[in-house]
């Protein structure tokens, strides 16, 4: 089944050994001609560590727990997982973090957001990586996109619209530190049948009043330092 899409964003942007987890059979692919490509300044990488919560997320599930695991796939759906953020309305998403990467420099992963049913497509973007391997990637969107406060994120290795790609997404048994999820869905498990969750984080654009307050706080801090 193919889903047509509205305008997307593709962002230009290392490996840990774990038990391979078979991926569920995803079927949704996109019309990649609608994706916008952004420059490499929109992304930063950091080594994979234990405590990986960013600043200002509304959903965060980035910790190692009992150990790292990974899913990889060539030219197709890598994995998908649900999220339930602390927002009570749609998220104006300006930043995403995830743990994983691609096999070779220049390869592409598509990030697709769905309603909680994993059928109704919402919006998405893509990442073209400058290096192969796995990192914590921070992806800053040039223009925020609207996604649901609770839904599904699916990652897909490019089947050839830009270049045939092999993508990797990391998992662990750690629970979210911000927001929640259903740990039993879609059913990824390790060799001990412990449930695993895909590692990603979603940021919401601050409300205008919040931004104004942050600005005032910054001014006050400057004044205090000058005394």
Question: In the chain, where are the structural domains located?
Answer: 8-226
The predicted model scores a pTM of: 0.78
pLDDT for 218 = 38
Whether residue 46 contacts residue 135, with contact meaning beta carbons closer than 8 Å, is answered with yes
pLDDT for 169 = 95
| pLDDT tens-place string over residues 89-98 | 999 999 999 9
Chain centroid to CA 38: how far?
16
Reported as a pLDDT band with limits 50, 70 and 90, residue 220 is very low
pLDDT for 56 = 78
| pLDDT tens-place string over residues 124-140 | 888 888 888 899 998 98
In eight-state DSSP terms, residue 195 is B
What does DSSP say about strands 8-12 and 35-38: parallel, antiparallel, or unpaired? parallel
Indicate whether 16 pLDDT > 70.
no
- Secondary structure of residue 45 in the 3-state scheme: strand
**C-alpha to C-alpha distance for 75 and 8, rounded to whole angstroms:** 19
Top pLDDT among 39 and 20 is at: 39
Instruction: Calculate mean pLDDT across residues 200-221.
Output: 58
125 contact partners, CB below 8 Å, separation of at least 6: 8, 9, 10, 11, 35, 36, 110, 111, 139, 141, 145
Top pLDDT among 28 and 205 is at: 205
Whether residue 75 contacts residue 171, with contact meaning beta carbons closer than 8 Å, is answered with no
pLDDT for 140 = 87
**C-alpha to C-alpha distance for 197 and 83, rounded to whole angstroms:** 10
pLDDT for 47 = 65
pLDDT for 32 = 56
Indicate whether 115 pLDDT > 80.
yes
């Amino acid at each position: 089944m193919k889903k047509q899409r509205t305008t997307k964003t593709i962002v230009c942007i290392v490996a840990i050994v774990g038990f391979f987890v078979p991926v569920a059979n995803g079927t949704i692919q996109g019309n990649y001609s609608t994706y916008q490509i952004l420059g490499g300044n929109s992304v930063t990488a950091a080594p994979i560590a234990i405590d990986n919560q960013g600043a200002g997320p509304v959903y965060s599930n980035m910790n190692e727990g009992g150990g790292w695991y990974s899913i990889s796939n060539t030219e197709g759906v890598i994995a998908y997982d649900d999220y339930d953020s602390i927002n009570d309305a749609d998220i104006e998403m300006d930043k995403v973090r995830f743990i994983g990467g691609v096999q070779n420099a220049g390869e592409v992963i598509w990030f697709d957001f769905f309603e909680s049913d994993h059928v109704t497509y919402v919006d998405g973007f893509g990442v073209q990586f400058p290096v192969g391997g796995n990192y914590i990637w921070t992806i800053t969107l040039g223009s925020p996109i609207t996604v649901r406060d609770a839904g599904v994120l699916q990652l897909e290795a490019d089947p050839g619209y830009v270049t045939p790609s092999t993508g990797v997404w990391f998992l662990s048994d750690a629970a979210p530190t911000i927001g929640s999820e259903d740990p039993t869905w879609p059913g990824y498990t390790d060799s001990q049948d412990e449930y695993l969750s895909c590692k990603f984080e979603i940021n919401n654009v601050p409300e205008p009043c919040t931004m104004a307050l942050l600005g005032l706080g910054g001014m006050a801090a400057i004044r205090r330092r000058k005394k």
